[in-house]
Structure 1
Amino acid sequence: MAKNNIRWFGQTLLGCRLLVALLSVPSIAQTAPTGGDGLKGDYYEGTDFERFVLSRHDASLNFNWGQQPPAAGMPSENFSVRWTGWLVPPTSGRYVFYVTVDDGIRIWVNDKLILNEWRGQPVSNYTAAVALKANEPYRLRIDYCQYSMDTRAVVTWDRPDASPPPSSWHNLWGLMDSKPKPAPIPKRYLFSHNPKPPVAQPVQPNLPPKPTAVAKTQPQTPPAPAARPAAVKPRRPAVKPAPAPQLRVVAPVPAPAVRTVPDSSRPAQLARLSVGESVTLPDLYFNQGQARLLPAARTALDGLAAVLSSRPDLRLEVQGHTDNVGNAELNRQLSQQRAEAVCLYLTAHGVAAGQLRPVGYGGTQPVADNADPAQRPRNRRVVLRRL
């Protein structure tokens, strides 16, 4: 009897352990997308993407090329790289990006510029923080330029769920506070394509309307045919004078509203531009002091993107201009950001990055009188100059 009780207790204990183990297995639906293939790297000759050389997939941004070319067919100096793709963070919270670079670098997350150090410089270190949600794809773009001498581009991160290192003699077995060192972003979190593309909504077919229900009625006997009337000799109608013609007044149909279309939206206009000639985008404007594209500007740029995608031979300098109100250097930076916003929108809609070169001129090239408040907004413009 005692042996049976012991055996029953052991089986029950084993079953409880198996149940706890099964309950502790994480749900597959809650895990992040796996199988990242890294970022797509486009390599160019020139410090501002002048001549495209090659594309490849890079697992992470942890490069220290020294004074050697970054790839076969590339120079060891005066080149630029653009990495694009998607970042899927493993957990929600505040991420801190640590950048070690020589020379210039710019970083966008979901089209928001979080770091802009675009210049020649010795080895320098920067940080940028951003709040991210777990398992949510974020568009990532990183631009890098190299002028001369050493070549380095390292991007690491500090995750919000980073745990302290294990106790060892390095931290006096946990008695000293120590934080884990930022590590390069692993390949499994980087994708060259969106791992969660938006689901297209099904299109509802145009079905004919349902017939309305008709109340059932008792059948009726068809009416008897009417008697045929006797033939009557037709009388000749009296002749009446014809009424005077009346004039019908028709309201004039208003002409359709004409929307000003920028010259750059027509292939013929851009094709006729000679090298060095410029055209202004009249539908593209910004709020004062801001570099965010307005809805009207996005509509105008859609046509421009279609034209440039069909004409890969066209290379344009995208110029940003402001008025002269405020600090001249801040105006130049704002105009540069506006030009970059236009280029970023166009490249996101199929235009090759090598076709565009953003340049900010600030308020140095006015086309209207800045002293006149009514004329001043004309100076806040975007101009395309053919290269």
Structure 2
Amino acid sequence: MKKHRSLDLDGLDGILRPAAESRPPASRTWVVWSLLLLVIAAIGVYWIRNHPLPKLEWPQTPDRSSNAAPAQPVPPPPPTEQAEVVAKQQPTNDAAPTAPAASKTESVAASPAPVAEAQTELKLPTEPTAAGPAPANTDPVYTVYFKFNSTKPIRLSGAEKNRLLEQVKQCGQGIRIVGHTCNLGNDASNRQLGQARAEALQKWLTAQGIAAPIETATEGWNRPAASNDTPDGQKLNRRAEVHCLTP
């Protein structure tokens, strides 16, 4: 049987290969692409190592509590002259009024202090003074004087304290202390102050080791030892008298 030859119209037969013969094999294409990808990957790794990506920072939400203004300390109040005014109004030993005044009263102090206060300008006697009938069975053996409107006795010297203790130790049956005041104030407050003065002297004697029984009483302003018309007389009436009890 006879083969028919195809016509070579362009004159390229035998020069150009068929399309199927010009294609490279599939395995060679896969190897080329793999090498290309490896090269790209190596370049990427090298780039990342030498050019690290910037670290992303998320914006922080502001703290509302931090926006609040800090509390300012409250400045202390300016000093006042109240203490100075009170100090000026405080009565002193030697500033007793010259005449009776209904508005002034002698009140009981918060607590008695030991027998150790400043001397007054007036020299007060340390022996009993004449003062009418004594509330005990005998006359007073000793008298202790007090500051104005106070249960603090006027300071006694060491010799006067020893004399008081010697007189008290001779009271074998017991002791009675009676408190007195001047005429300033009202009867109720002065009786209360007289009682407080007697109890203050009682505590002092007990602290000195006096073991004899001690009674306390008050006369208020009812039994003055001197006239209340003068400041000196009023000072003599602010006192506590010590009496020896008899059987």
TM-score (norm 1): 0.27
Larger Rg: 2
